[in-house]
Amino acid sequence: MSQKEYFNSEYPSVEHLIKKAQSRVPGFAFDYLHGGCFSGVNLDRNIEDIKKVQLKPWYLKDYQGASQETELFGKTYSSPFGVAPVGLQGLMWPNSCEYLAQAAKDHNIPFTLSTVGTASIEKIAKITDGDFWFQLYHPAQDDLRDKLLERAWDAGCRTLVILADTPTFAYRPMEIRNGLSIPPRMTMRNIAQMMFRWNWCFSQLFAGGMPEFQTMKPYIPKGLSMKHLGLFMNKTFSGRLTEAKIAPIRDKWKGNLVIKGIVNPEDAEVAVKHGLDGMIVSNHGGRQLDRGESTIEPLKRLAPDFKGKIKIMMDSGIRNGADIAAAMACGADFTFMGRTPMYGVAALGKHGGHHTFEMIKKQLQQNMEQIACEKVTDFPRHLVSE
């Protein structure tokens, strides 16, 4: 069996992966991955609302078999899902950024590197032969923005993701309580949490080394204390995206430009007006606005008006192949997952990405075969309208 087809039948669902991940990763790192903002209302809503979507089968159709192949920005991916940008992945499991990039490449699905990921643009380019997406946190200085765009382009990246949904820092009680930082802060509680996670400690010390913001490393002054690194990052990124910031990026970036965090028609109009190629209906996985809607709801409203004008993608709350089927039926052209692949790597280390993608593919295939959906673009025909 090739690494690509790796599938461990002990962990056939994300729930199994979460349980295993929780037993291997120190509490402060698991909380960072698993939690939402405030009391997790938006996070729970994402997961619950997508389950309410209902699909109708067509059992007596002259069914010719199902293919997950999906065309996006002139490329044919093997499945309609990809890896969303996640910052600080190395804290949850050493080398997880690199493992997921490799697994995504092997499975022919897109991998998105975050500006604050723990592998550099150049390393991910090497792993993926330049076939990756890059998510830009908007730098306050144009000079740094241009350097990052240039590095991504030179490395082969042709799809840039800009971020609309982080105008301000999130309020996440568990992160505040855990004093989250890299390297992990040595409070008594954090030390106690690490003590029973030998695999994680061993891997951090010997395999991956302590995680660092590798893409940002050249711009971070040497020898900063954690407090000053935090202040540096706050000053470096300007947070709120505006039309005035989108326009020069559109001018400079010759590849596909995607905006992430769109949940209303006003913002979608701006994306179309500026000639963006795609929008990701996302609420950052319930990590920013606790009283926000689940993303499946705005997706249903935006798809009829914007389909064909701009590629519509969705993330937040996708945990299995049935959720992908639901999102595609509600009008998504493509989907992304943030936590699900990370649970896989936290649970199974370097096999985790391959296992998770194989699992999701099997689940999606079963859904397609069950309802007789031959192509991913046929999913909307199977939606039970409300």
Ligand X SMILES: Cc1cc2nc3c(=O)[nH]c(=O)nc-3n(C[C@H](O)[C@H](O)[C@H](O)COP(=O)(O)O)c2cc1C
User: Cβ closer to ligand X: 175 or 369?
Assistant: 175
Binding mask 107-126 for ligand X (x = CB under 6 A): -------x-x----------
Interacting span for ligand X (CB under 6 A) from 102-110, 229-237, 315-323, 348-356: 315-323
b/e per residue 264-302 (b: at least 16 CB within 10 A)? eeebbebbeeeebbbbbbbbbbbbbbbebbbbbbbbbbb
Whether the bond between 183 and the residue before it is cis, its omega within 30 degrees of 0, is yes
User: Is there a contact between 359 and 366 (Cβ–Cβ < 8 Å)?
Assistant: no
Q: 353 exposed, middle or buried (CB, 10 Å; 0-12, 13-18, 19+)?
A: buried
Q: Give min distance, CB of 306 to ligand X, in A.
A: 19
Q: Given the residues 284, 351, 354, 355, select the one marked as catalytic.
A: 284
* Touching ligand X, residues 191-210 (CB under 6 A): none
Q: Of 53, 66, 86, 302, which one interacts with ligand X (CB under 6 A)?
A: 86
Q: Give min distance, CB of 341 to ligand X, in A.
A: 9
- Kindly state whether residue 134 participates in binding ligand X, applying the rule CB under 6 A: no
- Kindly state whether residue 315 participates in binding ligand X, applying the rule CB under 6 A: yes
User: Cβ closer to ligand X: 302 or 371?
Assistant: 302
Q: 206 exposed, middle or buried (CB, 10 Å; 0-12, 13-18, 19+)?
A: exposed
- Classify residue 215 by its DSSP letter: T
Interacting span for ligand X (CB under 6 A) from 190-198, 297-305, 306-314, 332-340: 332-340
Tell me the residue nearest to ligand X as measured from the CB. Answer: 338
* Touching ligand X, residues 155-184 (CB under 6 A): 163
Q: Is 284 a catalytic residue?
A: yes
Q: Of 32, 153, 237, 343, which one interacts with ligand X (CB under 6 A)?
A: 32
Count, residues near ligand X per rule CB under 6 A = 24
- Kindly state whether residue 292 participates in binding ligand X, applying the rule CB under 6 A: no
- Kindly state whether residue 328 participates in binding ligand X, applying the rule CB under 6 A: no
Distance CA 103, CA 3 (A): 9
List Cβ neighbours of 77 (8 Å cut-off, separation of 6 or more): 69, 70, 71, 108, 109, 110, 334
Structure tokens at 90: 């190395």
- In a 3-state reduction of DSSP, which class is residue 124? helix
Residues of this chain that interact with ligand X (CB under 6 A) are 32-33, 46, 84-87, 114, 116, 135, 163, 260, 282, 284-285, 287, 315-318, 337-340
Residues labelled as active-site residues: 284
